[in-house]
Homo-oligomer: A and B are copies of this chain.
Amino acid sequence: MTIFERIILRQIPADIVFEDDELIAFRDIEPKAPVHILLVPKRHIANINELKETDTLMIGRLVLRASEIARTEGIAESGYRLVINCNRDGGQSVDHVHVHILGGRPMKWPPG
């Protein structure tokens, strides 16, 4: 079980900013920007290579929800970056699909 599943099950604490039946969002414990939130599908999917066509709507809702969270956090107009890492070269550190929402400062280029 990954750390994200343990957060979903309330086995370990997290600063949760959004939750519904399908998705959960909480603040990164090692934030790299003033706003740094992880948005996660509750169902376990190891990485985005594992997505199936039946996941299309869920992943679409994930992206729309990320922009709604940015609005709630007050960074929608100033700007933000969404990042999805896949496997080792991508820098994926937890084997459960998640999107990073980063903002509250100018994000630099290249993105890592």
Contact = CB atoms under 8 A, between A and B. Distances in A.
Interface stretch (A6-14, A19-27, A87-95): A87-95
A3 interface: no
Interface string A74-86: 0111111111111
Contacts of A110: 32-33, 102, 112
A49 interface: yes
Contacts of A55: 60, 64
A32 B63 contact: no
Contacts of A88: 78-79, 106
Given A102-B111, A110-B32, A111-B81, A63 B89 contact: no
Sort chain A's interface into a size bin: 35 or more
Contact of A87 (B63, B78, B84, B104): B78
Contacts of A108: 91, 112
A105 interface: yes
Interface of A: 32-33, 48-49, 51, 53, 55-61, 63-64, 66-67, 70-71, 75-92, 100, 102-112
